[in-house]
Structure 1
Amino acid sequence: MTASLLYPFILVAGVLQALGNSMNARLRDRLVNPWLAATASFLPVVFLFATLFIALPTPLPNAESIRGMHWYSALGGVAGAVAVFGGLLFVDRVGAGPFNGLAITGNILTSLAMDAFGVFGLHRSGFKAMSWLGGLLMVVGVVLVARSSGTRSQDRGGGLGATALYPFILVAGACQALGAVLNAELRGALVNPWLASTASFLPVTFIMALMFILRPTPLPRRDDVEGVRWWMPLAGIAGGVAVFAGLLLVDKVGAGAFNGLLITANLLASIILDHFGWLGMKKVRAGPQRLMGAAVMIAGILLISVT
C-alpha cells in the first residue's frame, strides 16, 4: 500500500481528534477539576487498548526487540500530553486562538525538522524547499484561523505575562510532534499495536491521576456529575485514535505529512463544530478569514505531501 492511500485514515483520525477535544471541554466543564476530567478521559482509553491486547495478544515482542528499545520510547504518550498540560495551564492566560496557533506551529515545524534529519528511526529526507514552503503556508493558515476566533491574549496578573508564555507553548507543540514519532518507535519495539498503545497511555493516566490526588479541589457538585452525558467520557477514545494512527503510520508517511494531515483535518472539523455549535461549542461563524486560512492550510499540506 502506497503512502497516499493511508491519507484518508489520517484525516479521519484528525476529525476524531477534534471531536475528542470538544468532548473533553464539555467533560472539563462538568467535572470542574481539570485533573479529574483528564483522568476520566484517559482511563477508558487504557481499558479499551488493554482489552484489545488481551483479546489479540499476538504478535508479541521478543527479548531482542525489547532490549533494542530506547528508554525514551515509552514516553511518547507523556510527550504528546504536554500540549494538554499546556492547555490546562496557559489557555486562559493567552487565549484559545493564540495558544492553538503557537502549538500547531511548533508541531509542524518540528515534524519537518525530524523528517529532514531522520531522527528516532525516521527516513532521512534532507531539506526540501517545497515541504518547508508548505509548512510556512500551514503556519499562515493557522494564524488566519486563530485570529478569526475573536479571542484575545489575557494576562490575569501575577507571574509571567501572556507573551512571555509563547516559547513554552511552542515547546508544547513540538513535544506533541515528538510524541507521535516516539509512539511509532514504541510500536516497532513492542510489535503488537494494542500493547504499544496501552504502554503509551498508561504513564499519562498515572500522571493525571497523581495530579488529581495532589490537587483534589475543586470537586464537582452532584448536579455537575448528573449533567455528564454518556458521550463525554469517550473523549479520550476519540482522541486516542490519532495516537493509534501515529503508532501505525508515522514511519510510513513521514512525520511532516502525518502531523500536517492530522492538524488540517482537526482544524477543519473544529471550524465546522464552531460554525454549527455542535457538542455544546460556542457558535463562531466560519467567515471569509477562517475559510481562507483553511484553504491556505490545505495548500500547505499538499506541498508537504507531494514532495
Structure 2
Amino acid sequence: MEKYASVELFTDDINNEQPKGVNNLSTRHFDDTSFRVEWDKSNESCASHFLVCWEQSQAKDNGCKRIPSYETDFYKGDPNVCTNVTVSVSAVSVINELSSGNESIIITTAPGSVQNLTSWLVELGSVGLKWDPPLPGEDCVDHYIVELRDNYYIVNATGDKLQYIFNNLTLCQHQIFSIRSANSQAPGEVTEPEVTQTGSHSLHLEWKRPLELFDCLVMYSVCWKETNKTDSACSEQKLEQYPKRTLYGLKSCAEYTVTLAALGVSRLHDNDTTLTQFTGPEPVTALKVDNVDTRSVTVSW
C-alpha cells in the first residue's frame, strides 16, 4: 500500500494586478437554520481565494472566512432568526493581498420553527393541527404554511387560534403534515417577459429573474388560460431550470392570457406579470407540387 502527501498551492499571475470582483451574488437557499450564497467568478480575474464576510444586525455572531477561488458558494448555519444579514464577497490575490471591491447582499432570515405541534382526529376523514408560535421569532411571523403531499395552505392566524383542519382525507393511508412559519419577504416581478415563438397549438415564453428581492426567490409559477374564460392551468418552475417554458396543447387562433410570478417561500402571488398572445392558425394540409418544368412549378394545398 502506498501513502501520498499533498500540498495545495496557487500559481499567481506575474502581472500582479488587482483581481476583478465577483458577479451575480445571490442567495441560493435560506431558512431559519441556514443560508447559502453563490456567485460567478470573473474569467479575467486571477484570484487565489474569496473573502466572505457576514454581519448580523443586533447580533454578535459576525465574522469572515476565506475560501479557495475554485469554490463559488458559501454556506452559513445557525443564523439568528428574524434578522438582517449583510453578506459581502471580494476576490483576493495571493501576492500583496490585493483585493477587489466588495459585492454585497442583505438577507432577512426566517422566523424559527413552530412549537408544540399536535394533531387530533376531528371526524372520519378530517384531522386538525394545532401549534404554538416560534420562540424566538414570533415578532416577525407574517403567516404560516401548512403542507400535505406537495399542497400548500396559507394560514393567517395569531394568538391562541393557531390551528388548521384538513378535510376529505383519503382513509386508511399514512399522512405526513408539516408546518413552517414565514415572514412577509417576497421577490419582485420577473423582468423582460415575452412570447418568443408562436405555434398553432403552442406558445414559447422567456423571462429574466426579478431585480427586487431576488434573494427571496424560491421558484417561478406559470399560469395560462384562454382570455375571457375561467378554466386555467398552472405549472411551477424550479430555479435550476432555465427561465423559459413552452405551453403545449393550446387551441389554434385563440387568445391566451399568461401569468408569470416569482414566488417566495410562502408561494403567494404578490407580484404577477401578465401577457396576452394569440396562437397561430392551423397549418395547411395536402400540400403538393405539380407540373414542374424548367421555368415553372404549380403548388396546391
Category of TM-score, reference length = shorter chain = under 0.3
**What TM-score does the superposition give when structure 1 sets the normalisation length?**
0.21
Give the number of the structure whose residues are more often strand, by fraction.
2
Give the number of the structure whose residues are more often helix, by fraction.
1
Which protein has greater RCO, CA pairs closer than 8 Å, 6+ apart?
Answer: 1
**What TM-score does the superposition give when structure 2 sets the normalisation length?**
0.21
